Chains A and B, each alone.
Chain A
Amino acid sequence: MEGTTIRRKKRLDRSIKVRTEGLYALSGWSEMGYLVFPRALLIVGLLVLPFFLDLYWQRVICAAGIYALLALAFDFLAEFVGLVCLGGALFVGAGGYISGLLNSTFGWHPLICIPLATLGGAVFSTLVLIPALRLRGIYFAIVSFMLPLFAVYIIIALSVFGGTQGISALDTLPSTWFEIYLILSVVLIALFLVRRLVSEDMGLILRGIKDNDQAVKASGISITNYRIRAVFIAALIGSFGGAYLSHLYGWLGISLFAMDFSILPIAAAVMGGLGSLAGPVLGALVLTPLSEALRGFGQLRVVVYSVILIAFIVYKPEGIMSWLQRKYQQFEHWEEV
Chain B
Amino acid sequence: MGNEPLVRLDGVSKAFGGVQAVLDVSFDLFKGEILGVIGPNGSGKTTLVNLTSGFVRPDRGTVSFKGKNVTGQPPHRIANMGLTRTFQVMRPYHSLAAFKNLIVPLNSPRVKRTRSGTLGDLDAVAIDILEDIGFERDARVPYKPAGSLPLGYLKRLELGRCIALKPEVILCDEIFSGLSMSEISSLLPLMERLQMEGVTLVMVEHRLRELFRLADRVMVMNFGEKIADGPPAEVMEDPEVRKAYMGRETS
* Contact surface of A with B, Cβ cutoff 8 Å: 20-21, 201-202, 204-205, 207-208, 210-212, 214-223
Bound together, the chains give a CA A208 to CA B100 distance in angstroms of: 10
Is B165's CB under 8 angstroms from A215's CB? no
CB A332 to nearest CB in B, in angstroms, measures 24
What are some 13 contacts across the A-B interface (CB < 8 A)?
A20-B143, A201-B103, A204-B96, A204-B103, A205-B103, A205-B104, A207-B93, A207-B95, A211-B94, A212-B92, A212-B93, A220-B111, A221-B76
Residue of A nearest to B140 (CB): A20
B5 within 8 A of A: no
Which of B13-21, B39-47, B80-88, B242-250 touches A?
B80-88
B contact residues around A217 at 8 Å (CB) = 55, 74-76, 79
Is A221's CB under 8 angstroms from B107's CB? yes
Bound together, the chains give a CA A214 to CA B55 distance in angstroms of: 8
B91 within 8 A of A: yes
Is A220's CB under 8 angstroms from B105's CB? yes
Bound together, the chains give a CA A184 to CA B85 distance in angstroms of: 47
| Contacts known (A20-B143, A204-B100); A220 close to B93, Cβ less than 8 A | no
Known: A204-B103, A212-B92, A215-B92. 15 other contacts (CB 8 A): A202-B107, A205-B103, A207-B96, A208-B93, A215-B87, A215-B91, A216-B76, A216-B104, A218-B75, A218-B85, A218-B161, A219-B105, A219-B161, A220-B80, A220-B110
Size class of the B contact interface (CB-based, 8 Å): 20 to 34
Bound together, the chains give a CA A204 to CA B97 distance in angstroms of: 10
B53 within 8 A of A: yes
Rank and list the top 8 A-B pairs by shortest CB-CB distance, nearest first: A220-B108, A220-B79, A219-B105, A211-B93, A220-B80, A217-B75, A212-B91, A208-B93
Bound together, the chains give a CA A201 to CA B164 distance in angstroms of: 15
Is A214's CB under 8 angstroms from B87's CB? yes
| Contacts known (A201-B103, A211-B91, A214-B87); A220 close to B96, Cβ less than 8 A | no
Is B109's CB under 8 angstroms from A220's CB? yes
B101 within 8 A of A: yes
Is B79's CB under 8 angstroms from A208's CB? no
CB B112 to nearest CB in A, in angstroms, measures 10
B122 within 8 A of A: yes
Is A211's CB under 8 angstroms from B105's CB? no
Bound together, the chains give a CA A217 to CA B74 distance in angstroms of: 8
Is A218's CB under 8 angstroms from B84's CB? yes
B contact residues around A220 at 8 Å (CB) = 76, 79-80, 84, 105, 108-111, 165
Number of A-B contacts (CB under 8 A): 85
A contact residues around B165 at 8 Å (CB) = 219-220
A contact residues around B55 at 8 Å (CB) = 214, 217-218
A contact residues around B103 at 8 Å (CB) = 201, 204-205
CB B184 to nearest CB in A, in angstroms, measures 22
A contact residues around B85 at 8 Å (CB) = 218
Is B74's CB under 8 angstroms from A201's CB? no
Is A204's CB under 8 angstroms from B79's CB? no
Is A219's CB under 8 angstroms from B84's CB? yes
Bound together, the chains give a CA A20 to CA B100 distance in angstroms of: 14
Bound together, the chains give a CA A253 to CA B18 distance in angstroms of: 53
Bound together, the chains give a CA A223 to CA B105 distance in angstroms of: 12
A contact residues around B79 at 8 Å (CB) = 217-220
Bound together, the chains give a CA A217 to CA B91 distance in angstroms of: 13
Within 8 A of A (CB), among B113-144: 122, 143
Bound together, the chains give a CA A214 to CA B105 distance in angstroms of: 12
Selected from B76, B97, B107, the residue in CB contact (under 8 A) with A201 is B107
Bound together, the chains give a CA A279 to CA B97 distance in angstroms of: 23
Q: Which of A20, A216, A223 has its CB near the most chain B CB atoms (within 10 A)?
A: A216
Bound together, the chains give a CA A83 to CA B29 distance in angstroms of: 39
CB B94 to nearest CB in A, in angstroms, measures 6
Bound together, the chains give a CA A219 to CA B165 distance in angstroms of: 7
| Contacts known (A220-B80, A220-B110, A221-B104); A215 close to B93, Cβ less than 8 A | yes
Selected from A21, A208, A222, the residue in CB contact (under 8 A) with B104 is A208
| Contacts known (A204-B104, A208-B104, A221-B107); A215 close to B161, Cβ less than 8 A | yes
Residue of A nearest to B84 (CB): A218
CB B181 to nearest CB in A, in angstroms, measures 27
